[in-house]
Amino acid sequence: MDPRFDANTETIDEYLLRHERKQLLRFLTCGSVDDGKSTLIGRLLHDTKGIYEDQLAAVEGASKKYGTQAGHADLALLVDGLRSEREQGITIDVAYRYFSTEHRKFIVADTPGHEQYTRNMATGASTCDLAVLLVDARHGVSVQTRRHCVITSLLGIPKIIVAINKMDIVDWDQSVYDRIKADFEAFSSKLPGRDQTFVPMSALEGDYVAERSDKAPWYEGPCLLELLETLDIGGDEQQTPFRLPVNHVIRPDLDFRGFGGRIESGVVRPGDRVAVLPAGTESTVSRIATFDGDLEMAGAPRSVAIVLEDEIDASRGDMIVALQDQPTVADRMTADLVWMHEEPLQPGREFILRHGTRVTPCRVRRINHRLDIDTLETVACDGLALNEIGRVELETDVPLVFDAYEKIRGTGSLILVDRIGNWTMAAGMIRGKSSDLRWTASPASGTSRHGDEGLVTPQERETRFGQKPVTILLTGLAGSGKTRIAAMLERALFDLGRVAIRFDGTTMRQGLNRDLGFSAEDRSENLRRSMETAKLVNDEGIICVAAFVAPRAATREKAAVLVGPERFLTVHCAAPLEYCQALDPTGLYADAQARSLEGIPGISFDYETPENPDLSLPSHEIDPEESVNRILALLKKRDFLR
């Protein structure tokens, strides 16, 4: 019986009910090898009366056998259960232990400190709300300390306690504590902000673990257990939008059809409007069924069966979501991977991707970069080795329904599994749709190859052509006259003896970009590919005249960065929507109204007017010849024409 049970004041049922209502905190201990993680957990179990006399006797016997603490009871053996762990005095696999106090229940994961077992540490951290990062006072912040700090940050653990352990060995020297604290704060300041607390302690002696001590009178903060009991872990998963991945369809008879699964985030009530993705079918929640009866409300992380008012098609792998705040649906995404296999990751490799209840083949299209743990800088690379962390672009055979990991961990996490051996190869955190990062992504083939240096210099091209290369982006609504102005500008440059090339969104879609549609994302990709082409044209000393709607300001800014701000001009054809609709030279607006077409800037979504273009042309008020003359004057003023 639990020693906290008092038969004089409560019954067994009262005791169980009291403990059932306690809040559960999942946390992990991490840090470098031999920093005292297992000893700390053993101390917590011992001091909270979480072990029994026969267990303590067994530990004392094992301590004498292995000689790990000079004959004294080695509390680390309470969690180091593998024979190799006890012989070597290290943690290899993740060990989970349960204990409770009067205030909370705890599940703690003891994770290994060796670099070769970093993958095990990442696995243990994936479900935790808090990290206790141990630092050996003798050695300070190590490479593995920084590595675990970064991984817990990438995994979205919102709170961290930095336990500076073995202070008894350094005679509780405050200067040692202050130096380690300053070193850690200097490193962690480069990461996204989160709550972090520091505490000095001795896990072996028990000082500042479960109780305060007089060994460090200069420390006025709480002990570790007080922090674990009082830190606010909130109910953030219930403040986020509703998400329920469908695990199975429950159909016991003709009168009941429910979609069973665990709520990953948010709350749901009968009467709520929801959508089933990726199909996008809408319906209303009729019932929330459980084994114990229907509920009026259910929140994460409860498992329920959702009954909808409409007979809709949904199966395992689909997701029921809040209608007004939906996740992303895409077959291309970027993710941060922790690579967990001895065989390096190479672009183009195929895997089985597991995301919630969805299982689908996928491939790694490219590796954008690797994260340098020491400097937190991104490094171009051709592959990822064991335990390395990198950002990759994934492509799946079927669309995934996901949120960014930092928004909802449950729908933003994934694992990659080997197609043949069924090994877990990587754990991933989804950051967003890949189209958002193609502008800055490295080539899928890596960066080890470089083209031969040309034999003609840029200066020689300028002298021959009498011009400096520049890309002129004419942007505006459909019907604003930009395509006509671009054609006349090309003619004028030709007549002046200059060398120019012209293309627009329509001509590019007839060839290189024939696989793209007219959504905002496809328009962004259409412009990106075209600007890659414009950059190559400029590199050859040629002027590029490009006419694109380019409705997003952020996309136009990325285009300028890609081509080079010093040789990029934005010319806005400023004809208003009413003028463009009335003119409608291609019949686009009439066709859109007749057929309810989507993807029309100004109609389906806003056209974001350039705030500070290099030139604004009132193309609804002046003729194309005047527009061309103004552009030529700009080119001469900026010294692009000589």
Q: Locate the domains of the chain by residue range.
A: 12-230, 237-322, 328-436, 458-637
Q: Is there a contact between 306 and 259 (Cβ–Cβ < 8 Å)?
A: yes
**Residue 466: left (phi > 0), alpha (psi -120 to 50), or beta?**
left
Reduce the secondary structure of 536-568 to three states and give it as a string.
Answer: HHHHCCCEEEEEECCCCHHHHHHHHHHHCHHHE
Structure tokens at 249: 């369809």
Q: Is there a contact between 98 and 107 (Cβ–Cβ < 8 Å)?
A: yes
Output phi, psi for 234, to 5 deg. Answer: 60, -165
Q: Read out DSSP for 341-383?
A: SSSPB-TT-EEEEEETTEEEEEEEEEEEEEE-TTT--EE--S-
Half-sphere exposure of 494 (CA within 13 A, CB side): 9
pTM of the model: 0.65
At 100 the three-state DSSP class reads: strand
Residue ranges for the chain with pLDDT beneath 50: 1, 81-92, 446-450
> Quick one: CATH architecture of 328-436?
Beta Barrel (2.40)
Q: Please give the Cα distance from 350 to 361 (Å, whole number).
A: 7
**Do 237-322 and 12-230 have the same topology in CATH?**
no
Output phi, psi for 335, to 5 deg. Answer: -145, 150
Identify the pLDDT of residue 122.
72
Fold of 237-322: Elongation Factor Tu (Ef-tu); domain 3 (2.40.30)
Query: What superfamily would CATH give domain 12-230?
Result: P-loop containing nucleotide triphosphate hydrolases (3.40.50.300)
Place of tokens 């042309």: 617
Picking from 636, 299, 332, 247, the residue whose alpha carbon sits closest to that of residue 466 is 636
Counting every residue written for the chain, the total comes to: 642
Question: pLDDT by residue (tens digit) across 403-458?
Answer: 999 889 889 999 999 999 999 899 899 998 876 556 766 565 544 444 556 789 99
Identify the pLDDT of residue 516.
81
Structure tokens at 242: 């509703």
Pairing of strands 243-245, 267-268: unpaired
CB contact set of 506 (below 8 Å; sequence gap of 6+):
483
Q: Does 3.40.720.10 match the CATH number of domain 458-637?
A: no
Q: Is there a contact between 613 and 559 (Cβ–Cβ < 8 Å)?
A: no
Q: Is there a contact between 269 and 285 (Cβ–Cβ < 8 Å)?
A: yes
Instruction: Tell me, rounded to whole angstroms, the distance of Cα 392 from its chain centroid.
Output: 11
First to last CA, the chain: 93
Identify the pLDDT of residue 75.
59
Buried b (16+ CB within 10 A) or exposed e, 591-630: ebeeeeeebbbbbeeebeebeebebbbebbeeebeebbeb
Identify the pLDDT of residue 77.
61
Place of tokens 């990659």: 416
Place of tokens 């709350």: 267
Identify the pLDDT of residue 634.
96
Identify the pLDDT of residue 482.
93
Identify the pLDDT of residue 12.
74
Picking from 574, 628, 552, 581, the residue whose alpha carbon sits closest to that of residue 479 is 581
Cis peptide before 241 (omega within 30 of 0): no
Identify the pLDDT of residue 598.
65
Identify the pLDDT of residue 32.
84
Identify the pLDDT of residue 8.
60
Count of other CB atoms within 10 angstroms of residue 410: 20
Q: Please give the Cα distance from 526 to 513 (Å, whole number).
A: 6
Q: Please give the Cα distance from 285 to 574 (Å, whole number).
A: 47
